[in-house]
Amino acid sequence: MVNAIVGANWGDEGKGKITDMLARESDIVIRFQGGANAGHTIVNDYGKFALHTLPSGVFYDHTTNIIGNGVALNIPVLFNEIEQVVSKGVPRPKILVSDRAQMVMPYHILFDEYEEERLGKSSFGSTKSGIAPFYSDKYAKLGFQVQELFDEDALRAHLERIAPQKNVLLEHLYHKPKLDIDELFNTLMEYKKMVEPYVCDVSLYLSNAIKEGKNILLEGQLGTLKDPDHGIYPMVTSSSTLAAYGAIGAGIPPYEIKGIVTVCKAYSSAVGAGAFVSEIFGEEADELRRRGGDGGEYGATTGRPRRMGWFDCVASKYGCRLQGTTEVAFTVLDVLGYLDKIPVCVGYEIDGKVTTEFPVTSRLEMAKPVYEVLDGWKCDIRGIKNYSDLPENCRKYIEFCEKHIGYPIKMISNGPKRDDIIIR
Ligand code: GDP
C-alpha cells in the first residue's frame, strides 16, 4: 500500500511532523522530489531536528528511508544529516539512494548564488542550494547520475564535456573563476565514498516491496503552489511538488498510490517571492510569526522570517484538488488560540468579481482577499485528544475551512509533538 504526504500550500505546512507520525506504520519512506532547499522540522523523543534531505522515517529502526531518483541529491548534506542524527542518539538509519538520482554539483550552488546576485531586486529569493541550476541541467541533459561515480573514465569525460558550456557563463556572464576539472573529479570521488554503501536500484526494490504488501510512504517537499506547472509560476520550485510526481520520482506505477494526505496549515505562511493574497503585515503578522510553528515561523533551511497570512480557502481548495487529496491533515491549529477574531480568506476579488477558484499568476497578482471573520476560542488546545473535546468555536473554525476547501479534514494537529494529534 502506497500513501503520499504532500503540502497544499507554499510548503512549511508541517508535513515533517505528519510523516514522522505516519512513518510509525510504514516500512519504507521515500523522498521523491526537491533537494536540501527546504526543511522539515521534527520534534520527537530524541530531540528537535531540521531535516533537509533525509526522509522523515529515519527515527524508526523498522523503516527503510529512500532518496528517490527525482531528488536533487546533495551528497555532503545527506552525510552531515546522517551524522547529526546519529550523534543525537538515534540508531543509525537504514538508507537507500537511487542509482538514478542526480547529484547537486558544487557549481550548481555557485550558479544559484551568481544568478540571484545578477538578478538583484528581481531575484527569486532562492535558498541558494543549487536547485534551479540542478534541475535545469537535468532536463538539458547535462546532469550527473549517482551511478556515474562508478565509472571513473566516463565520469572524467563527462566533466570535460560539460565544462566548456559552464565556463562560457562563468567567464562572460558572471565574471567568476572557471571550473577546475581535477578538483571537481576529486570532489566526486569523495562523494563516491560517502554514497557507495547506500546505492540501490530503487524502482526494483520498491516493485518487490509492493508485491510483498509493504507500507510505503511518499514524502513531498513544499506544496502545490510551488509546483512548476500548477503553482505560482515563475515563483515556484524546480521539481513537481504533486503526489502524482511521486510515481515518477520514486519509480512506481501511478495506480499504486492509494492515499493522498494533504497537509494544510490552519493559517498561511510562505517563503520567497510571489503573490500571497491573504498576507498580513506589521504587528499582526509579527505576533502570528512569533507564536507560529514551534518557536516561530522562520525558515528551517535559511532562518529567514516567513511571510504570514490568514487561512486561504481558495488556495487550499486548489492545492488539495491538484494533489488528488483523499484526506486533509489540518496543522498548527493550537497557534491560533490567542486570537479574539480569526479572518479566513473565502474568495478573491479580481476585476470587481469574486471567485473561489485559484487563478493564473497574472490574475493572482490582482486578487484582493475577501474575508469572513470567525470567533476565536481563546484557550490552549494542546493536549486535547478527542475532536468532541475541542472548544466549540475551534470545531466551527475547522468545519468552516473544511466546507470551503471541499476535502475531509481527518487529522488535526494541535502541537509539534508526535502525539499532538486528533483523529476525526
Ligand atoms: P514542513 O516542511 O511541511 O514539514 O514544515 P516545517 O517543519 O517547516 O514547519 C512546521 C513547523 O511547525 C515545525 O516547526 C513543526 O515543529 C511545527 N509544527 C508542526 N505541527 C504543529 C502543530 O500542530 N502545532 C504547532 N504549534 N507546531 C507544529
Tens digit of each residue's pLDDT (9 = 90 or more) over 51-71? 889 998 899 989 999 999 999
Closest atom, ligand 1, to C-alpha of 7: 3
Any atom of ligand 1 within 6 Å of the Cβ of 11: yes
Any atom of ligand 1 within 6 Å of the Cβ of 331: yes
CA of 43 to the centre of ligand 1 (A): 9
Closest atom, ligand 1, to C-alpha of 333: 23
Any atom of ligand 1 within 6 Å of the Cβ of 16: yes
CA of 296 to the centre of ligand 1 (A): 10
CA distance 144 to 21: 34
Residues of the chain with CATH 1.10.300.10: 102-197
Tell me, letter by letter, the H, E, C secondary structure of 22-73.
HHHHCCEEEECCCCCCCCEEEEECCEEEEECCCCCCCCCCCCEEEECCCCEE
Residues of the chain with CATH 3.90.170.10: 2-87+204-423
Q: How much is the pLDDT for 120? A: 85
Q: How much is the pLDDT for 300? A: 67
Query: Residue 190: which region, alpha, beta or left (left: phi > 0; alpha: psi -120 to 50)?
Result: alpha
Any atom of ligand 1 within 6 Å of the Cβ of 335: yes
End-to-end Cα spacing for the chain: 22
Q: What is the DSSP string of 319-358?
A: HHHHHT-SEEEEE-GGGGGG-SEEEEEEEEEETTEEESS-
386-424 burial, b at 16+ Cβ within 10 Å, e below that, comes to eeeebeeebbebbebbbebbebebebbbbbbbbebbbeb
Closest atom, ligand 1, to C-alpha of 11: 3
Any atom of ligand 1 within 6 Å of the Cβ of 306: no
Q: What is the DSSP string of 134-194?
A: HHHHHHTT---BGGGGG-HHHHHHHHHHHHHHHHHIIIIIS--PPP-HHHHHHHHHHHHHH
Q: Are 86 and 92 in contact (CB under 8 A)?
A: yes
Q: Which residues contact 362 (CB under 8 A, 6 or more apart)?
A: none
Tens digit of each residue's pLDDT (9 = 90 or more) over 337-388? 999 999 999 999 999 999 999 999 999 999 999 999 999 999 999 999 999 9
Q: Helices 75-87 & 181-195, crossing angle to 10 degrees?
A: 40
Tens digit of each residue's pLDDT (9 = 90 or more) over 402-423? 999 999 999 999 999 889 999 9
CA distance 142 to 144: 7
Tens digit of each residue's pLDDT (9 = 90 or more) over 285-329? 999 999 998 889 987 667 789 999 999 999 999 999 999 999 999
Find, among 191, 189, 169, the residue nearest to 178 by Cα: 169
CA distance 109 to 80: 17
Burial of 241 from C-beta contacts in 10 A (0-12 / 13-18 / 19+): buried
CA of 368 to the centre of ligand 1 (A): 28
CA of 144 to the centre of ligand 1 (A): 33
Any atom of ligand 1 within 6 Å of the Cβ of 334: yes
Find, among 372, 310, 289, 375, the residue nearest to 339 by Cα: 375
CA of 17 to the centre of ligand 1 (A): 6
CA distance 225 to 132: 16
Any atom of ligand 1 within 6 Å of the Cβ of 93: no
User: 155: how many CB neighbours lie within 10 A of its CB?
Assistant: 18
Tens digit of each residue's pLDDT (9 = 90 or more) over 148-200? 999 999 999 999 999 999 999 999 999 999 999 999 999 999 999 999 999 99
Closest atom, ligand 1, to C-alpha of 335: 26
Q: Are 220 and 10 in contact (CB under 8 A)?
A: no
For residue 259, the Cα-to-chain-centroid distance in whole angstroms is 18
Any atom of ligand 1 within 6 Å of the Cβ of 28: no
Q: Which residue's CA is the closest to the ligand 1 atom numbered 12?
A: 293
Any atom of ligand 1 within 6 Å of the Cβ of 217: no
Q: How much is the pLDDT for 271? A: 84
Any atom of ligand 1 within 6 Å of the Cβ of 37: no
CATH 3.90.170.10 fits 2-87+204-423, yes or no: yes
CA of 11 to the centre of ligand 1 (A): 10
Closest atom, ligand 1, to C-alpha of 299: 8
The identity of residue 417, as a single letter, is: K
Grid coordinates standing for 389? Answer: 473535546
Tens digit of each residue's pLDDT (9 = 90 or more) over 100-142? 999 999 999 999 999 988 988 877 777 788 999 999 999 999 9
Find, among 207, 245, 249, the residue nearest to 223 by Cα: 245
CA of 16 to the centre of ligand 1 (A): 7
Q: Give kind and range of the element (H or E) at residue 270.
A: strand 268-270
Q: How much is the pLDDT for 301? A: 66
Q: How much is the pLDDT for 272? A: 80
Residue 41 has pLDDT above 80, yes or no: no
CA distance 394 to 341: 11
CATH topology of domain 102-197: Adenylosuccinate Synthetase, subunit A; domain 2 (1.10.300)
530531540: which residue's cell? 47
Q: Which of 40, 41, 306 to mutate to test the pocket of ligand 1 (most atoms within 8 A of CB)?
A: 41
Any atom of ligand 1 within 6 Å of the Cβ of 294: yes
CA of 317 to the centre of ligand 1 (A): 20
Burial of 207 from C-beta contacts in 10 A (0-12 / 13-18 / 19+): middle
Closest atom, ligand 1, to C-alpha of 415: 24
CA distance 72 to 75: 9
Any atom of ligand 1 within 6 Å of the Cβ of 417: no
Q: Specify the pTM.
A: 0.93
Q: Which of 237, 294, 307, 394 to mutate to test the pocket of ligand 1 (most atoms within 8 A of CB)?
A: 294
CA distance 143 to 132: 12
Catalytically annotated residues:
12, 40
Backbone angles phi, psi at 261, to 5 degrees: -90, 115
